[in-house]
Structure 1
């Protein structure tokens, strides 16, 4: 059974593939003990993992002990990477791009990952990873307003988001949540001028804050990074 793991800035996700489908088996801190406990009962004989930060040597050794390989900028992938500094590209971004491409090959794609950061990545119909942008995520926007001002409170993301807030709390929450929604919609509208048949993939822990109502051509896909890791692993196995 193959295992795929995505280690983010805040949490770690992992899924097994028994040959038919991915099944999430872990979502929690990037720590060896709870991760090892979650894998009890599974026989892992390979897979792939990626990380956006340095991790404990115990955890990396545990991943290696299961014959898992780390995705790096030197790993062959089924997309042509146009990034000018591939060694600085977050491997979660590349994996998500491959995951989206596996679902809609031959189409122009915008991949939006709403995590600690919000990333916007473009894949062309020709199978090229054409770069992207990085912006602060939901939690970072709330914490920045609190930490870099004198009197603005730290606000919980869950709650009402009126068009215009009638309290400071609602004003902050609406500004952050509606701001991100407008930002995403702005990217989509802008890119559709150049790529009229654009498909959009949303993933990440904060996609619940995006209004999906009446949005055609937009797909919410959980674990898109893990799906991409599985595709890259298979691509290299067949090469």
Structure 2
């Protein structure tokens, strides 16, 4: 079985092809028109589309093939214990399911480092429990600039050379970077106390910046959301 997974975000469109052996290819597009040119030449058995930009009806008219459209009513391979499931971002539950599927069981913690940092827990009973949401690297840096009179706008993708800054700029860089790193380590350690066997998966645009955190129980899987979407598709077609 060959699956096409399409994840349409606010600015970019990601797609991936999965076979029973796993991920065999992924691509990123700037527009639906460019993506369509690519998908029309593909051979696949099933397709799932997750979209925050287009409604299902619009995509039914635009795409020349059938697909499963992910929404809050789509059956999932795990139980959803979230108190407000209709408000749950579909990318969040997909990341959680991706971590759970790769690990083979819970407990797992998926950490998605994007504009916001989201923490998603699936427990040992394979129940999604929720987690936490906090500002990402760029949002932290932008907030200090926009909510103060004199602090500059900083942008960083690499770990500062020193924990102790020796200028306003390097102090801000240290605060943003290590604030997030120590937050993640604190979250992971707190979950490990409750779930000693927990495995942690990092994903998202800033995940590679924290690859140094990877160790025996922490893994960086850049396409974790796509893995989760593929698992959801398989659950619905098998």
Note the C-alpha offset of 1:20: 3.6
Cα distance between partner residues in 1 of 2:117 and 2:96: 14
CA contact (8 A) 1:146 1:154 kept: yes
> Does residue 50 of the first structure (1) align with residue 50 of the second (2)?
yes
> What's the offset of the Cα at 1:36?
2.2
Q: Structure 1 159/217 Cα, relative in aligned 2: closer, same or farther at 3 Å?
A: closer
Q: TM-score, normalised by structure 1?
A: 0.88
- The yes-or-no answer on 1:65 pairing with 2:58 is no
Worse-superposed segment, 42-51 or 81-90:
42-51
Structure 2 counterpart SS, 1:209: helix
Identify which range, 167-176 or 216-225, moves more after superposition. 167-176
User: Matched residues in 2 for 1:33 and 1:79: separation?
Assistant: 34
Per-residue CA deviations over 1:34-55 (Å, capped at 9, x if unaligned) read 322443532355311223x333
Is residue 2:193 matched to residue 1:193? yes
Q: Is 1:77 paired with 2:76?
A: yes
- Is the counterpart of residue 166 in structure 1 residue 176 in structure 2? no
- Post-superposition shift, 1:2? 2.6
SS of match in other structure, 1:179: helix
How does the TM-score come out when normalised to structure 2? Answer: 0.89
Distance 1:98 1:175 in 2: 32
Cα shift readout 1:179-200 (whole Å, capped 9, x = no counterpart): 1110100001111111111110
C-alpha separation in 1, matches of 2:41 and 2:83: 43
- Output the CA distance in 2 between the equivalents of 1:219 and 1:108: 14
Structure 2 counterpart SS, 1:122: strand
> In 2, distance between residues paired with 1:39 and 1:109?
33
Per the alignment, residue 24 of structure 2 pairs with 23
SS in 2 for 1:76: coil
Q: Is the 8 A contact 1:26 1:38 kept in 2?
A: no
How far 1:63 moved relative to its partner?
6.3
* Cα offsets for 1:145-192 (capped at 9, x unmatched): 222211211112135612011122222221111111101000011111
The residue that corresponds to 1:178 in the other structure is 178
Aligned ranges 1:145-160 → 2 under 5 Å = 145-159=144-158
Partner of 2:135: 136
Aligned-CA RMSD value: 2.3
Instruction: State whether residues 8 and 53 of structure 2, in contact with CA within 8 Å, keep that contact through their aligned partners in structure 1.
Output: no
Pair 95,216 (structure 1): closer, same or farther in 2 beyond 3 Å: same
Which residue of 1 is the match for residue 6 of structure 2? 5
For 2:24 and 2:182, how far apart are their aligned partners in 1? 33
- Change in CA separation of 1:94 and 1:213 when aligned onto 2, cut-off 3 Å: closer
Deviations 1:4-34 (A, max 9, x none): 12233443321122454323432243x2123
Unaligned runs of 5+ in 1: none
Structure 2: segments with no counterpart, 5+ residues:
none
Distance apart, 1:100 and its partner CA: 1.1
**2:230 corresponds to:** 230
Asked if the contact 1:138–1:177 (Cα under 8 Å) also holds between the matched residues in 2, the reply is yes
Query: Are positions 1:32 and 2:32 aligned together?
Result: yes
Aligned 8 A contact 2:214 2:220 in 1: no
Helix, strand or coil at the partner of 2:212: coil
- Other structure's SS at 1:55 match: coil
